[in-house]
Chain A
Amino acid sequence: MWALVVVTALGWTAGVLPSSAQSLSTPVGHVEVSAGVGLLGGATFGEQAASERAGGTGDPYRLFNTETELASSGAFEVRVGVPVTSRFTLEGRASRGRPELRTSISGDAEGAPSLTAVERVDQYLIDGGVVVRLNEWRIWGLVPFAAAGAGYLRELHEGQTLVEDGHLYYVGGGVTHWFFARSRGVVRAAGLRADVRMNLLSGGVFFNDTLRRQGTVFGSVAVVF
């Protein structure tokens, strides 16, 4: 629902914002598009023992132990933003990563060698939020910003045989460095952007209903039209 609201808001604002409303620190224009690559942080899912009931007592008997994590992985992203004011931009984003779900198996009661069983997970994040341009803190040509929002998580197990949905909230920030900025032409500005985010994910392949944290780092090329 949140993503739908953001998309609607983007459609309403695109093309109606006067370029004169933009600060000089932020290239003027109607739509900022960026694409890049980055790193998705991993998450630990915790331990789970394969337990039976012990003879003579019925107490738990550990057949083997497991510890599961979602490994960090590379990812790519695409963003579309529309300035609402010189300070605030509404932004939508989609990213895809392919982390490994890893379950380390150890301590087998019958001596089976320890190993790590893995599967590849396709992770899709679609989110939207607000970017706050901190133009007054510009330094060495870098314009800092802060961002926050929410979105939808979709994770597919290996072979795409099972889909697990969830949602996310995020806070983050970064800097943008513009190579050029102009008030005329189709391309109004181009530059590089670096983002650091903390995602709070729920659902997906995670093993319980609590939020899991995921740090992300992305670098992208940004173009303003």
Chain B
Amino acid sequence: MTVARARALAVLACFAVGLPGTAEAYLHLGIDAGGRTVSIRWTAPRPRWFASDRGVLSVSATEFQAEVAQAFASWEAVPTASIGFQFTGFTGALPLEDDGLSVLGFREEPDLDRVLGATSFLVDVLTSEIIESDVFFNSVFPWSVSPTGEAGRFDLRSVAMHEIGHFLGLGHSAIGETERLAEGRRRVLATGAVMFPISLGRGVVADRTLQPDDIAGASDLYPDGDFRTRTGAIAGRARLGSAGVLGAHAVAFNPRTGSLIAGFAVGSDGAFRIGGLTPGPHVIRVEPLDDADLESFFSSLDVNVDFQVTFHPRLIVAPAGGAGPDFDVAVRAK
């Protein structure tokens, strides 16, 4: 078996990510397979995971396992996705070790002083199957398992929800707004996805609930039943003058349901495709990818962020089981 290890730093971390050939609403983690990027995913039925037997001051190992199990259950409950994992037991092994076990647990990483957690993978590069995945939660931060949150502490389950999204093979979502602070830091104004790369902050438990963009991303990677026939897609192109806008972030808003689901222009032609949409008309908003570090989304793309936020003047209809006609969104330089 040919395997390669790829580390995916999740929260507050620079994260190098590839793109699948048919990019849908969200980024999936991928590997290069002969010049083509292929999404990584679990293929084994109900892969097993272990919980580290090491707790921290405010969270025991048992509490840790219970919170992570709840986070897994939330992803498994997505009705349009076929996701299932099984807790096997506690282990003395630490996460991020190549030991054949998928381990989730605390680990002290003082050098990663802006990283709440991270996910790593062992992947079969021939089949793109995930063989092993570890998640660590940085024990240098204060943690909480309080259902309503605890001031000054990060909610363990919220961060687990994000990391388990990576564990599934999901990349980061860019549905979120931030403002820049000193020393390269950012303050989160808002997020519309659990998979946004920056935490909502201490004491906040809002990321315990998956958002439409998260659900669409998981369902696209692990579709269940008639997901692809019951949902629709839109396909468009962001252009500045006659040139495509590489890295443009396109958000589809459904004025009937209020859902926000997004995609990226991953080619030089500015083409994007957003899938997993409830059939019906959508408002299309195209924005520069400037609310998180670009490395959180793309590793090697020359992304254009020098244009204005733009709404498309037409409502774009996502038909059930397919995509409507292509359309162009003309943006203007800042």
Residues of A within 8 A of B (CB): 45, 48-58, 61, 63-64, 66, 68, 101, 103, 105, 108-113, 115-119, 157-159, 161-162, 164, 205, 207
Contact = CB atoms under 8 A, between A and B. Distances in A.
A61 B177 contact: yes
Contacts of A158: 314-315, 317
Interface residues of B, number: 45
Given A111-B309, A159-B324, A68 B189 contact: no
A118 B314 contact: yes
A133 to B, nearest CB: 42
Contacts of A161: 317, 319, 322, 324-325
A55 B200 contact: yes
Nearest to B149: A58
Nearest to B198: A55
Contacts of A108: 285, 309, 311
A162 B255 contact: no
Interface string B309-333: 1111111111110101100000000
Nearest to B320: A162
Contact of A110 (B177, B207, B315, B325): B177
Contact of B206 (A45, A58, A68, A118): A58
Interface stretch (B24-32, B56-64, B267-275, B276-284): B276-284
Contacts of A53: 190-192, 200, 206-207
A157 B281 contact: yes
What is the interface of chain A mostly: helix, strand, loop, or mixed?
strand
Contacts of B189: 54-55, 61, 109
A207 B259 CA distance: 13
Contact of B201 (A56, A118, A164, A207): A56
Nearest to A114: B311
Nearest to B323: A161
Contact of A119 (B206, B232, B317): B317
B99 to A, nearest CB: 37
B204 A117 contact: no
A119 B315 contact: yes
A51 to B, nearest CB: 7
Given A101-B315, A103-B283, A58 B258 contact: no
Contacts of A64: 253, 285
Given A56-B200, A101-B315, A112 B285 contact: yes
A177 to B, nearest CB: 42
Contacts of B324: 159, 161
Contacts, number: 128
Smallest CB-CB A-B distances: 9 pairs: A58-B206, A55-B188, A61-B190, A52-B190, A112-B309, A52-B192, A161-B319, A119-B315, A157-B317
Contacts of B325: 159, 161
Given A52-B260, A118-B314, A110 B253 contact: no
A207 B192 CA distance: 22
A68 B255 contact: yes
Contact of A58 (B178, B200, B260): B200
Interface string B200-221: 1100111100000000000000
Contacts of B316: 119
Contacts of B315: 101, 103, 117-119, 158
Nearest to A109: B177
B134 interface: no
Contact of A56 (B204, B253, B287, B309): B204
Contacts of B284: 117
Given A51-B258, A117-B312, A63 B188 contact: no
B253 A162 contact: no
Given A61-B177, A61-B190, A117 B313 contact: yes
A50 B260 contact: yes
A118 B311 CA distance: 12
A162 B317 contact: yes
Given A53-B200, A207-B255, 11 more contacts: A50-B253, A52-B191, A64-B253, A66-B283, A68-B255, A103-B281, A119-B316, A158-B317, A161-B319, A162-B232, A162-B320
Contact of B192 (A58, A63, A105, A164): A63
Contacts of A112: 285, 287, 308-311
A102 to B, nearest CB: 8
Contacts of B279: 162
Interface string B88-100: 0000000000000
B132 to A, nearest CB: 32
Contacts of A66: 253, 255, 283
